[in-house]
Amino acid sequence: MFRHQKELQFEIKVERPDPQLARQIQEVLGGQFGEMTVMMQYLFQGFNCRGEEKYKDMLMDIGTEEIGHVEMLCAMISQLLDGASPDDQAKAAKDPATAAIMGGINPQHLLVSGLGGLPTNSNGVPWNGAYIVASGNLLADMRSNLHAESQGRLQVARLYHMTRDEGVRAAFRKMLARDRYHQYQWMAAIEELEQKNGVVVPASFPPEAELESQPEAYKFWNLSEGQESKEGLWATGSAQDGTGDFVYEADPVPLGNIPNPEIPAPTLHHDLDGKKFKNSNEE
Amino acid sequence: MFRHQKELQFEIKVERPDPQLARQIQEVLGGQFGEMTVMMQYLFQGFNCRGEEKYKDMLMDIGTEEIGHVEMLCAMISQLLDGASPDDQAKAAKDPATAAIMGGINPQHLLVSGLGGLPTNSNGVPWNGAYIVASGNLLADMRSNLHAESQGRLQVARLYHMTRDEGVRAAFRKMLARDRYHQYQWMAAIEELEQKNGVVVPASFPPEAELESQPEAYKFWNLSEGQESKEGLWATGSAQDGTGDFVYEADPVPLGNIPNPEIPAPTLHHDLDGKKFKNSNEE
Amino acid sequence: MFRHQKELQFEIKVERPDPQLARQIQEVLGGQFGEMTVMMQYLFQGFNCRGEEKYKDMLMDIGTEEIGHVEMLCAMISQLLDGASPDDQAKAAKDPATAAIMGGINPQHLLVSGLGGLPTNSNGVPWNGAYIVASGNLLADMRSNLHAESQGRLQVARLYHMTRDEGVRAAFRKMLARDRYHQYQWMAAIEELEQKNGVVVPASFPPEAELESQPEAYKFWNLSEGQESKEGLWATGSAQDGTGDFVYEADPVPLGNIPNPEIPAPTLHHDLDGKKFKNSNEE
Amino acid sequence: MFRHQKELQFEIKVERPDPQLARQIQEVLGGQFGEMTVMMQYLFQGFNCRGEEKYKDMLMDIGTEEIGHVEMLCAMISQLLDGASPDDQAKAAKDPATAAIMGGINPQHLLVSGLGGLPTNSNGVPWNGAYIVASGNLLADMRSNLHAESQGRLQVARLYHMTRDEGVRAAFRKMLARDRYHQYQWMAAIEELEQKNGVVVPASFPPEAELESQPEAYKFWNLSEGQESKEGLWATGSAQDGTGDFVYEADPVPLGNIPNPEIPAPTLHHDLDGKKFKNSNEE
Amino acid sequence: MFRHQKELQFEIKVERPDPQLARQIQEVLGGQFGEMTVMMQYLFQGFNCRGEEKYKDMLMDIGTEEIGHVEMLCAMISQLLDGASPDDQAKAAKDPATAAIMGGINPQHLLVSGLGGLPTNSNGVPWNGAYIVASGNLLADMRSNLHAESQGRLQVARLYHMTRDEGVRAAFRKMLARDRYHQYQWMAAIEELEQKNGVVVPASFPPEAELESQPEAYKFWNLSEGQESKEGLWATGSAQDGTGDFVYEADPVPLGNIPNPEIPAPTLHHDLDGKKFKNSNEE
Amino acid sequence: MFRHQKELQFEIKVERPDPQLARQIQEVLGGQFGEMTVMMQYLFQGFNCRGEEKYKDMLMDIGTEEIGHVEMLCAMISQLLDGASPDDQAKAAKDPATAAIMGGINPQHLLVSGLGGLPTNSNGVPWNGAYIVASGNLLADMRSNLHAESQGRLQVARLYHMTRDEGVRAAFRKMLARDRYHQYQWMAAIEELEQKNGVVVPASFPPEAELESQPEAYKFWNLSEGQESKEGLWATGSAQDGTGDFVYEADPVPLGNIPNPEIPAPTLHHDLDGKKFKNSNEE
């Protein structure tokens, strides 16, 4: 069960409205790596967690924090939209400067949300459940979390340069610092889990079942012309858990067959030679 | 520019058709972490790569390999569907055993693709471009790649137990071994990049800009009842790059204001008190 | 079966082209509450209606009218796009005023539809079937219809202020008046149905089955700090059909258990302690 | 800012696993009118609320409660999936009874979530942001809320009959009673708002601007053959706020023109007669 | 403007209910090539048609007919669902034969539509506006129409074999005959347009502008191993309008450069060497 | 299996950056008829092809070529974005000319892809698998291919006029010439298949089964007022394969019944008269 406090987690106070910036910021609210994504991702991971109370509690702590981040971004977007009105668009017909601004806004901020944040990205595409992952395997999921925080912090860093508004920038600096900590945090969890289970996900599939395939599996297939890719640890090193060495296959050849699927039943109507459907045969 | 060879990268030969399994396998063809995703993700990362020939070449090598994996899964699905026909459905009306099988198939394998693989997941939801990420920041993207291979291998491991068909299992063992290597590979690339740029993405945003926020930012906010989350390195350790120590905030309080957005223009028609739109005022 | 007459239901005659406005108007053509939504919603409700000829006929009357509204909006958008051409975009490179206009248009109006209306909203997101509802329960559906007409009229009212074009405004005034009537109309139908079946949807689930839960169910849980919410009829009044009184629970406590799901089978590969998948055990 | 307590709001304890039912229940978790929808809808309405503290607090109270309902449904789905494993699918090949069950499950409950709830509906379609509405106009939005609770309670009532599990039924009875209260609650809020502003949304658009259209606007157009629709208050009554009477137009005729859009510029390549693009004319 | 008659265009009378078949038939109601697609496609093409009254009228004739086909399929699906109820699912727990049937139904036919047709395909994916095309170029669009009718008739032919219900089959035979005619019809229109404008879309782009590229453009690039593709008119014939001959390029080599994009600005945070963002430089 | 060469198929060299044009060009990269669509469509058709080696090889040749076209468009978009940076947006606040440009860009080109191509259309809607078709019936699919190349070439022709950049135009002229050839090519394949199997898809459904319906089926139903549609071969000619003549039905009447679906079970809670759910009856 959840409770709400009226105060925001951090102060949000923009210097002045900027509806174009409001549109851009939608990316980190309702985009692929926005706050809605991390909120729902951590909550679903927490709700579905089986058998690891420590991780479950941690996921619930952070997931609950992220609901508040969605709240903060809605507050920021509302402030950036303060004072905007449909009349601005009507004025744009006569004034190129207004037209330039109105051209870059999200029309749904006027028409649909009435100056509020939307559950969509910077192009107006609705947030959807396929953005998130909660697989039940903790290491797999925490790698997803580290990656989501990396993409999210990258986008905030880019947004930071899109404005000179010191209020917005101060809030972004706090978010950048917080996302920095979140990256550390998932790295710490990943390190713990890798030490316990090994570095490969999932750990519980028996390596011996793959043994037959290992020599081929550990080859780097050079399928793009040029051998610049040879100069990496992926091509010359060893498995991080010592299960084998990597080999650079400069001229790989396919190991499989040429597929040759069967001619389908005539009732599928592929219209291939001699495969006419005959009504009398059917029953 | 690309070229195609008719042979598959690895042999695909199932023992017998199984249309229910064909449906399940769609998840690793056209689902969130299926082969279409890694194929498009690595190709877009490679196409868009700026200034790092070694990584670009590596991405193109693997992205090109993954096109062939889409091809292999289509071949496997076609074999599992061999012999299926619309008539089976008609027979189901009389035969519960047939009905049980037909209930679990994807009807589009008959109606839409005529026994071929579909660009959809195991529930028939179409693959879409929002599954992939190619941000331009190599470390962020390789963390995404490691995570995608972790989820993908997990799903194949689960699929492995859904069948006793030794042909399918042999192919899955090869895929599991290959996905194992791919995890090593992205880990190797991540290690290289972290050594060069540091562990936080992005590296180029100046840490001093976040300094003011650091003490707050490095606190773990215990927002879910219970303190099991205290027992982790995320709550008690230090930043992996030595920029500070973490603090467990057992009773966190909000630091921000209560949001209080402005009353909007009457032409937005929120119908709040005293804010009637007046036609005569408008122009 | 349907028939078509060439004349539009109402006159559409805009004063002058305005491609930015054409983009905005897409919201009320192909958005969540656009004419495509009410058209498809009323038609599906009518097609699927069981056992109530009076309502079925009414739904078909209005659903059929709404097809004509989609037609009218396409006509309006076409007129607003008249004369636009790809060359305008090329000129924008040299002329900021043109650039300002072109920045705010929907590029698909040039590239995809060739100056016609699109089945998308103002951000170009395609209309989709999940916008509509036709549940078979008339009261539930008519509440949906009232709500859709409320949102739709609100959006047209906002659009009204985005232009000074008297042709567009005249058409919008007609739509506003018509949407006013449609709200009355659904209110009338709702009133009839509530008088017959009661105000709760669905009516046919026996209230006695819920009796055990009623005391808890009628409490307002104050889960957000502050008690401003106490000042409403929802917290202090009684059920509209006299089934009980509401109670304001100022300090609610959870009534349930802490969830504790089982450790899953090892073949799900959650990698939890001591749950290794063992090949030999499987068969 | 939000906080979380470990206990569920209400007790969830199913009698026995039932993976088919788990799939069906996804509809009221992640479907169009599931708990994710009401949770996000009320939170966004609350976050974006301008100028009405009483309503904002009420929305935050209920929105916060609904986060806990998502949590409860995830707990219920997890219990219904307890003990399910990929091996069941493998056994289905030999056993029609197992096949019958496996045919009706959601394969993603095994492959993707590892026995947890998914942010999708009963057919696996991901939840998306276009399900929700938060327009800024309170009356419009509360009508949406009433409608959502009506559809949601209807679906739970239907689900109730899909099982004989007394644990599930007990939880559903609580949900039905709670959704009953929620309908009362939104009705109470609607009544308050209608008394203040009138029954038409939005109230602030001046009725006099629509006067010219009123006589036509208040006619019921009989566009579907048959006059059963005449027997309703929508066709024979008066506007609820006394602004006029309704008229049944038995044989309506169109009032508008036949649309006749202009021939487009040749650079749009419609290939109409005599409209060849000529390279030399372009610049 | 449109009108509706209560009778269906053709008789729909199924012999007996079959909820699994109802699910399959959703493909030709709300799938990629279902009746909703052709209905909306022809209507939008008609609404947006500029300058060709004959074609516009023809599109409106057929588009209007297709609204009635959506109606017919909803009637058929309703009949196939007659008598189904949530209780069937509850019984499935005890009875494998019922379980087999229930496993293959669409749960939304019970939960969401209450035994009515849904605006979704056979897997429950909502119909969406991106299925349709209305480009303004008549030849391009009529090719789309021919293709849609081809896919649609193919799917109905496959569905025909999924049932032995003579009522359903009789309706399908009528639809197959009608779709046959529709293919003839679009072929006739295509022939007319090709004779007037030539066979290449669009016709109005001047061929001389492409002349420089023609020799390369008319080569068949053999990019997949093996030369079976040489045996087709596409590789050995001539352009249908006599503009040149085709050449089979057995060993094609790329004609372009190796892409080498610029290093981006440091404020994009790609973290490439020596490209640190420096705060002091920014303003 | 696939291989990659570093050189592009054709030279891509734009004269100067133009981020607005980069946004427009996304339509032919990731839109409904962009290069991603033809690439995935031809590859899936080739992967799934059964029993026709000549066509399979041809599809693989062209599908493989199209992967390279996606690569070329990514290269073009990257060049058009060269030098763009988040700072431009910050400058827009002070400079209307910059604002005009920034208003028309895709913000995800800065925030999400870091100046690379995106798997989305010109409005930022992600590419999805429902754009493509691979049905197994060669004639149906090649009609789809011809139509896709027609729409695609039309869009490139329109884009051509959106710029005066000679580098972009030179590349477009090559694409236009290539798409011209591709139209010839699919026409050649269609002609071959029609000569073998007849012009109606599918060919293998026996025409005699439709005979009863033929007289009605071959009538053109004049359902839109006016008889301009009479002047076409579709209304006055004969079937292309001589199976009958077309008849213009000027005043069509419906041939079917009025649908009258059954009252549903009370457990569906439609709340119709006298259909109360009674708990005691249920078991």
User: What's the CA gap between D282 and D267, in Å, rounded?
Assistant: 9
Per-residue burial over F227-255, b if 16 or more Cβ lie within 10 Å, else e, is ebbbebbbbebebbeebbebebbeebebe
C140-170 pLDDT per residue, tens: 999 999 999 999 999 999 999 999 999 999 9
> Are A223 and B61 in contact, with CB atoms under 8 Å apart?
yes
> Using CB atoms, which residue from C8, C117, C135 is nearest to E112?
C135
Residue with tokens 């009746």: E35
Give the pLDDT confidence score for residue C58 in this predicted structure: 97
Mutation target for C interface from B267, B271, B275, B279: give the one with most C CBs within 10 A. B267
What letter does residue B93 receive in the DSSP assignment? T
- In degrees, rounded to 5, the angle at the alpha carbon of residue C61 between the alpha carbons of residues C59 and C64 is 100
Taking an 8 Å cut-off on Cβ atoms, the answer to whether B139 and E271 are in contact is yes
Average pLDDT over chain D, rounded to an integer: 94
User: What's the CA gap between D260 and D283, in Å, rounded?
Assistant: 29
CB of E181 within 8 Å of a chain C CB? The answer is no
D75-122 pLDDT per residue, tens: 999 999 999 999 998 888 788 888 888 889 999 999 999 999 999 999
pLDDT band at B252 (very low <50, low <70, confident <90, very high): very high
Residues within 8 A of F (CB atoms), B 83-102 only: none
Q: Per-residue pLDDT for chain C (283 aa), expressed as one digit of tens each?
A: 999 999 999 999 999 999 999 999 999 999 999 999 999 999 999 999 998 889 999 999 999 999 999 999 999 999 999 999 999 988 887 888 888 888 899 999 999 999 999 999 999 999 999 999 999 999 999 999 999 999 999 999 999 999 999 999 999 999 999 999 999 999 999 999 999 999 999 999 988 888 888 888 999 999 999 999 999 999 999 999 999 999 999 999 999 999 999 999 999 999 987 667 766 445 4
> Are B232 and A193 in contact, with CB atoms under 8 Å apart?
no
Give the pLDDT confidence score for residue A280 in this predicted structure: 45
Chain D residues closer than 8 Å to B275 by CB: 204
Token readout for F16 is 């100067």
Which residues, 6+ apart, have CB-to-CB distance to D246 below 8 Å? C181, C184, C185, D218, D219, D220, D234, D235, D236, D237, D238, D239
Average pLDDT over chain A, rounded to an integer: 94
> Are B208 and B180 in contact, with CB atoms under 8 Å apart?
no
pLDDT band at E212 (very low <50, low <70, confident <90, very high): confident
Give φ, ψ of A206 to 5 degrees. -70, 120
Per-residue burial over E213-227, b if 16 or more Cβ lie within 10 Å, else e, is bbebbbbbbbbbbbe
Residue E93 CA: distances (Å) to CA of B180, D157, F282: 40, 19, 15
Superfamily of B207-283 according to CATH:
manganese catalase, domain 2, chain A (3.30.1530.10)
pLDDT band at A99 (very low <50, low <70, confident <90, very high): confident
- Indicate the helix (H) or strand (E) that contains F220: strand F219-221
Residue with tokens 């339509």: F27
Give the pLDDT confidence score for residue E54 in this predicted structure: 93
User: What's the CA gap between E193 and E33, in Å, rounded?
Assistant: 24
Residue B95 among known ligand-binding residues: no
Residue with tokens 């403007």: E1
User: What's the CA gap between C204 and D154, in Å, rounded?
Assistant: 10
Taking an 8 Å cut-off on Cβ atoms, the answer to whether B255 and A220 are in contact is no
Per-residue burial over A127-151, b if 16 or more Cβ lie within 10 Å, else e, is bbbbbbbbbbbbbbbbbbbbbbbbb
> Using CB atoms, which residue from A2, A51, A202 is nearest to C223?
A2
E74-113 pLDDT per residue, tens: 999 999 999 999 999 899 878 888 888 888 999 999 999 9
> Using CB atoms, which residue from F47, F120, F129 is nearest to B127?
F129
What letter does residue F126 receive in the DSSP assignment? B
B154-199 pLDDT per residue, tens: 999 999 999 999 999 999 999 999 999 999 999 999 999 999 999 9
- Map residue B39 onto helix, strand or coil: helix
Taking an 8 Å cut-off on Cβ atoms, the answer to whether E50 and D261 are in contact is yes
HEC string of C245-279 equals ECEEECCCCCCCCCCCCCCCCHHHCCCCCCCCCCH
Taking an 8 Å cut-off on Cβ atoms, the answer to whether E282 and A161 are in contact is yes
Token readout for B218 is 């490095």
Give the pLDDT confidence score for residue E97 in this predicted structure: 83
Give the pLDDT confidence score for residue A213 in this predicted structure: 81
Distance from CA of D81 to the nearest CA of A (A): 11
Q: Which CATH class is domain B19-197?
A: mainly alpha
User: Among positive and negative, which fits the CA dihedral B82, B88, B89, B92?
Assistant: negative
Residue E226 among known ligand-binding residues: yes
Distance from CA of E23 to the nearest CA of F (A): 18
Distance from CA of F97 to the nearest CA of C (A): 5
Taking an 8 Å cut-off on Cβ atoms, the answer to whether D114 and A135 are in contact is yes
Give the pLDDT confidence score for residue E274 in this predicted structure: 63
Chain B residues closer than 8 Å to F75 by CB: 47
Give φ, ψ of E71 to 5 degrees. -60, -45
User: What's the CA gap between D157 and D154, in Å, rounded?
Assistant: 5
Chain A residues closer than 8 Å to D48 by CB: 74, 78, 113-117
Chain E residues closer than 8 Å to B3 by CB: 223-225
DSSP labels, E247-266: EEESS----SPPP-PPPPPG
Taking an 8 Å cut-off on Cβ atoms, the answer to whether F136 and A264 are in contact is yes
Residue with tokens 């002070």: F94
Chain F residues closer than 8 Å to E139 by CB: 150
- In degrees, rounded to 5, the angle at the alpha carbon of residue F219 between the alpha carbons of residues F216 and F220 is 145
* Domain ranges for chain B: 19-197, 207-283
* Beta-bridge partners for C220: C248
D43-85 pLDDT per residue, tens: 999 999 998 889 999 999 999 999 999 999 999 999 999 999 9
- Map residue D238 onto helix, strand or coil: strand
Strands (E), chain B: 2-4, 219-221, 247-249
CB-CB neighbours of A69 under 10 Å:
22
Taking an 8 Å cut-off on Cβ atoms, the answer to whether F130 and B132 are in contact is no
The answer, yes or no, to whether residue B282 has pLDDT greater than 70, is no
pLDDT band at B280 (very low <50, low <70, confident <90, very high): very low
The answer, yes or no, to whether residue A276 has pLDDT greater than 80, is no
Residue F66 among known ligand-binding residues: yes
CB-CB neighbours of C262 under 10 Å:
14
Distance from CA of E233 to the nearest CA of B (A): 22
> Using CB atoms, which residue from F158, F269, F283 is nearest to D158?
F269
Mutation target for C interface from F216, F269, F273, F277: give the one with most C CBs within 10 A. F269
Give the pLDDT confidence score for residue F97 in this predicted structure: 83
> Are E24 and E162 in contact, with CB atoms under 8 Å apart?
yes
CA F107 to chain centre: 25
Phi-psi region of A83 (alpha: psi -120 to 50; beta: other; left: phi over 0): left
Give the pLDDT confidence score for residue C99 in this predicted structure: 84
> Using CB atoms, which residue from B6, B106, B206 is nearest to E279?
B206
Token readout for F150 is 């027609």
Q: Which residue in E208, D259, A220 sits closest to B182, CA to CA?
A: A220
> Using CB atoms, which residue from F5, F96, F112 is nearest to A96?
F96
The answer, yes or no, to whether residue B225 has pLDDT greater than 80, is yes
Token readout for A221 is 């297939």
Give the pLDDT confidence score for residue D214 in this predicted structure: 80
The answer, yes or no, to whether residue A169 has pLDDT greater than 50, is yes
Name the residue of chain A whose CA is nearest to D48's CA: A116
Distance from CA of B198 to the nearest CA of D (A): 32
Neighbours of chain D (3+ CB pairs under 8 A): A, B, C, E, F
Distance from CA of A269 to the nearest CA of E (A): 7
CB of F221 within 8 Å of a chain C CB? The answer is no
> Are D130 and F125 in contact, with CB atoms under 8 Å apart?
no
Taking an 8 Å cut-off on Cβ atoms, the answer to whether D9 and C255 are in contact is yes
pLDDT band at A278 (very low <50, low <70, confident <90, very high): low
Taking an 8 Å cut-off on Cβ atoms, the answer to whether B2 and F3 are in contact is yes
Give the pLDDT confidence score for residue C122 in this predicted structure: 98
B83 HSE (CA, 13 A, CB side): 6
Mutation target for B interface from F2, F66, F115, F118: give the one with most B CBs within 10 A. F2
- Map residue F13 onto helix, strand or coil: coil
The answer, yes or no, to whether residue E280 has pLDDT greater than 50, is no
**Between residues A275 and A74, which one has the greater pLDDT?**
A74
DSSP labels, chain A: -EEE-SS-SS----SS--HHHHHHHHHHHHSTTSHHHHHHHHHHHHHH--S-HHHHHHHHHHHHHHHHHHHHHHHHHHHHHTT--HHHHHHHTT-HHHHHHHHTS-HHHHHTSSSS--SB-TT-PBPBGGG----S-HHHHHHHHHHHHHHHHHHHHHHHTT---HHHHHHHHHHHHHHHHHHHHHHHHHHHHHHHH-SSSSSSS-GGGGGGGHHHHTEEE--BSSSGGGSSHHHHSB-TTSS-B-EEESS----SPPP-PPPPPGGG----TT----HHHH-
CB of C272 within 8 Å of a chain B CB? The answer is no
Taking an 8 Å cut-off on Cβ atoms, the answer to whether A283 and E154 are in contact is no
Token readout for D9 is 């709001």
> Are C167 and C200 in contact, with CB atoms under 8 Å apart?
no
Residues within 8 A of C (CB atoms), D 115-174 only: 115, 125, 128, 130-131, 133, 135, 137, 139-140, 143-144, 146-147, 150-151, 153-154, 157, 160, 173-174
Give the pLDDT confidence score for residue B283 in this predicted structure: 45
Give φ, ψ of E173 to 5 degrees. -60, -40
> Using CB atoms, which residue from B21, B103, B270 is nearest to D104?
B103
Amino acid code (one letter) for F87: D
Per-residue burial over D70-82, b if 16 or more Cβ lie within 10 Å, else e, is bbbbbbbbbbbbb
> Are B150 and B37 in contact, with CB atoms under 8 Å apart?
no
Q: Which residue in D162, D169, E264 sits closest to B137, CA to CA?
A: E264
> Using CB atoms, which residue from B8, B74, B113 is nearest to F135?
B113
**Between residues A211 and D230, which one has the greater pLDDT?**
D230
User: Among positive and negative, which fits the CA dihedral F151, F157, F161, F166?
Assistant: positive
The answer, yes or no, to whether residue A37 has pLDDT greater than 50, is yes
CA C280 to chain centre: 55
Residues of chain F with pLDDT under 50: 280-281, 283
Residue E66 among known ligand-binding residues: yes
pLDDT band at B279 (very low <50, low <70, confident <90, very high): low
E48-66 pLDDT per residue, tens: 999 888 999 999 999 999 9
Mean pLDDT calculated for residue range E214-234: 93
- Indicate the helix (H) or strand (E) that contains C219: strand C219-221
Give the pLDDT confidence score for residue F280 in this predicted structure: 45
The answer, yes or no, to whether residue D283 has pLDDT greater than 70, is no
- For helices D19-30 and D53-81, the axis angle rounded to 10 degrees is 170
What letter does residue F245 receive in the DSSP assignment? B
CB of E232 within 8 Å of a chain F CB? The answer is yes
Binding residues of D for Mn(2+): 35, 66, 69, 149, 182
